[in-house]
């Protein structure tokens, strides 16, 4: 199977970490008549980004179910920055290309409000705008497409969270990378799963605390295999999606079986109901001993499923023409 950038993922993460410099906190700059001070104690984190960049916000939110996160994290996947219930939030703007209209518009609004903004990008218009104001930009390693640059973006964001004392990660950062290596050893299992869902619409049941892995599988199947996927989040989806199992649609179920301890009965009950209704499902088990390692195992593993499905369908995983088209249309309409 063509693994694209996956074999460089560990290196990408390590490289991005080196790009987060502690002197970010000494930055003070004038933007639109307002002084933006990066040394302040922030009271919330806003992650803004779309698609392969925006999923970093979902992954961080997953991790906060397991870690002792000291600040609320809001994920904004929109061109409109909502009201943030905080007086001094830090905005981490993640855009692989730096040219995503929605992300740039959120950053413009954040700067108008006087919020500190840190860019995580390879450059583009976002990088240029922030640099022109003398504001911090964390560079990330290049990849074949934004979605394949995940570890660089994630590790840059994690290091920024640590710099602002939102989380204490320490050695878990390095340990987390084992999750990537472990998943890469499970390519055959991923191919088996891909062949099992081929020809069906997959319904991926994930506990709320691993929602990010669900979103990642959906996005990767959409973009790599050009394939639709439904993400059903436990327990909420047990109150709606579940009713559809008696409907006879051409779907196949995947169940991610690991969440926080309190989610256990909800996951078990779901599997019991599927069994009672003779609905076949494949369990996806996460490997790893720390929250980050487990999350990275999941995120990498589902990516491999999508690459294997692309291969099985004889689809080139890289091009995403309709997305390029809509990006151009949106940009033209600004």
> Which residues form the interface with ligand F6R (CB under 6 A)?
50-53, 95-97, 100, 103, 145-147, 223, 320, 323
- Report the run of H or E that residue 186 belongs to, with start and end: none
Q: Which is nearer to ligand F6R, 95 or 237 (CB)?
A: 95
Q: Which is nearer to ligand F6R, 28 or 142 (CB)?
A: 142
Least CB distance from residue 220 to ligand F6R, whole Å? 9
Least CB distance from residue 116 to ligand F6R, whole Å? 20
Runs of H (alpha helix) within the chain: 9-18, 51-63, 101-112, 124-132, 150-163, 172-184, 187-197, 211-224, 264-276, 291-313, 321-332
Q: Which residue is nearest to ligand F6R (CB)?
A: 51
Least CB distance from residue 148 to ligand F6R, whole Å? 7
Q: Which is nearer to ligand F6R, 62 or 223 (CB)?
A: 223
Q: Which is nearer to ligand F6R, 116 or 152 (CB)?
A: 152
Neighbours of 16 (CB within 10 A): 24
Least CB distance from residue 36 to ligand F6R, whole Å? 22
238 by DSSP, 3-state: which? helix
Alpha-carbon distance of 33 to 309, in angstroms, equals 52
Q: Which is nearer to ligand F6R, 127 or 179 (CB)?
A: 127
Least CB distance from residue 279 to ligand F6R, whole Å? 31
Nearest CA among 154, 197, 132, 144 for reference residue 54:
154
> Which residue matches tokens 């939102």?
166
Contact between 53 and 94 (Cβ < 8 Å): yes
């Amino acid at each position: 199977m063509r693994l694209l950038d996956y074999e460089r993922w560990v290196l990408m993460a390590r490289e991005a970490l080196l790009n987060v410099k502690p002197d970010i906190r000494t930055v003070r700059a004038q933007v639109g008549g307002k002084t933006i001070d990066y040394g302040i104690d922030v009271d919330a984190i806003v992650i803004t980004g779309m698609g392969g960049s925006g999923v970093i916000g979902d992954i961080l939110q997953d991790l906060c179910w397991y870690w002792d996160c000291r600040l609320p994290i809001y994920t904004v996947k929109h061109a409109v920055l909502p009201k943030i219930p905080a007086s001094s939030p830090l905005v981490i703007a993640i855009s692989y290309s730096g040219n995503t209209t929605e992300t740039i518009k959120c950053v413009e609004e954040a700067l108008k409000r006087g919020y500190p903004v840190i860019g995580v990008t390879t450059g583009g218009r976002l990088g240029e705008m922030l640099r022109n104001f003398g504001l911090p930009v964390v560079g990330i390693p290049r990849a074949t497409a934004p979605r394949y640059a995940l570890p660089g973006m994630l590790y840059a964001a994690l290091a920024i969270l640590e710099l602002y004392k939102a989380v204490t990660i320490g050695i878990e950062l390095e340990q987390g990378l084992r999750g990537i290596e472990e998943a890469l050893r499970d390519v055959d299992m991923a191919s088996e799963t891909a062949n099992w869902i081929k020809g069906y619409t997959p319904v991926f049941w994930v506990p709320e605390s691993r929602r990010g892995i669900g979103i990642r599988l959906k996005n990767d199947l959409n973009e790599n295999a050009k394939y639709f996927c439904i993400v059903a989040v436990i327990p909420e989806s047990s109150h709606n999606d579940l009713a559809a199992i008696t409907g006879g649609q051409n779907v196949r179920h995947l169940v991610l079986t690991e969440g926080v301890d309190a989610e256990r009965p909800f996951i078990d009950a779901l599997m019991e109901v599927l069994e009672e209704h003779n609905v076949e499902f494949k369990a996806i088990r996460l490997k790893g001993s720390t929250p980050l390692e487990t999350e990275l195992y999941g995120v990498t593993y589902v990516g491999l499923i999508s690459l294997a499905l692309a291969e099985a369908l004889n689809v080139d995983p890289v091009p995403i023409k309709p997305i390029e088209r809509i990006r151009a249309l949106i940009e033209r309409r600004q």
